[in-house]
Amino acid sequence: MCGRYVMFSTTETILAATSRIVGEQVGMVGDGGAFAPRWNIAPTHTVGVLRRFAGSVNLGPASWGYPAPWRSGTVLFSARGETVFEKNSFRGSAPCLFVMDGWYEWKDRQPYYVSSRADAAHGPMVVAGLCRPGHGADRGRLEATMVTTASVAPVDWLHDRMPRVLGAGSAGMQQAVAWLDGSDDDRRALAASSPADDILGTLLAREADRRVGNVAVNCVELLGDAGR
């Protein structure tokens, strides 16, 4: 998992898609700028995540990555699902869901864009994540890290890790709800497992523009043929 993803769907599309996936109406809180279309999201960027707060599932802003305690300026933007619940770095976290239209991965220096074919317009996916309030001067800001799992077909040829996709289109409602509202045992089992077959069957990888390596470049052309 390279640490770059894409979220270009409109806020209305995101709310409709995620409401369908989690089985209830999703609200929105915080700065709407966190949900503006972006084609090159990187760690430390402000991103949109879903979490249950005061009884409701809401889409709100979070800073992508937990500050690493051993090195200033470094963030833990992903966590291995097989071991995340054993690591001190992630203790005290609450479950959340990252929302994305797809992610980038590199193979032999060529970037690829991985998206879901669940909808005609490649509808948003939800990915397992963990979140917590920041510390010190950042205590008013939510931090979030993405959970990864061992990569499997059809994208295992790209990299040995992939986001733990829980829902896409109409698939994955039970897993997404279990991640948000289930027991710790439920989340441990989901984090250490592969995405469901009906989700994996929607994934498609296509060559992306090499400029995605420059985080300052943010345009639809980065998706290559997928953006045309």
pLDDT digits over 73-117, tens only? 789 999 999 999 999 999 999 999 999 999 999 999 999 999 987
What is the pLDDT, as a whole number, of residue 53?
87
Residue 26 pLDDT class (50, 70, 90 cuts) = very high
What is the pLDDT, as a whole number, of residue 140?
75
Evaluate if residue 31 carries a pLDDT over 80: no
Strand partners, 148: 80, 163
What is the pLDDT, as a whole number, of residue 82?
96
Whole-structure pTM value? 0.93
What is the pLDDT, as a whole number, of residue 72?
77
Query: Distance between CA 133 and CA 136 in Å, rounded?
Result: 10
Query: Distance between CA 108 and CA 200 in Å, rounded?
Result: 23
**pLDDT tens for each residue of 49-83:** 999 988 899 999 999 999 988 777 789 999 999 99
Range of the domain at 42: 5-227
Q: What tokens were used for 227?
A: 């953006």
User: How many structural domains does the chain have?
Assistant: 1
Query: Distance between CA 62 and CA 60 in Å, rounded?
Result: 7
More confidently predicted of 56 and 137: 56
Query: What value, to the nearest 5°, has the Cα angle with vertex 100 and ends 97 and 102?
Result: 135
Hey, which bits of 65-216 come out as E strands?
Answer: 66-67, 75-76, 78-80, 94-100, 102-107, 110-116, 125-133, 142-150, 161-163, 165-168, 203-207
**pLDDT tens for each residue of 155-212:** 999 999 999 999 987 777 899 999 999 999 999 999 999 999 988 988 999 999 999 9
Q: What tokens were used for 156?
A: 């295992």
DSSP string, 1-43: --S-EEE-S-HHHHHHHHHHHHTS--EE-S-GGGGS-EEEE-T
More confidently predicted of 82 and 137: 82
For the domain that residue 198 is a member of, what is the CATH number? 3.90.1680.10
Evaluate if residue 127 carries a pLDDT over 90: yes
Query: Distance between CA 31 and CA 1 in Å, rounded?
Result: 27
* Per-chain mean pLDDT for the chain: 90
Residues in CB range of 108: below 8 A, 6 or more apart? none
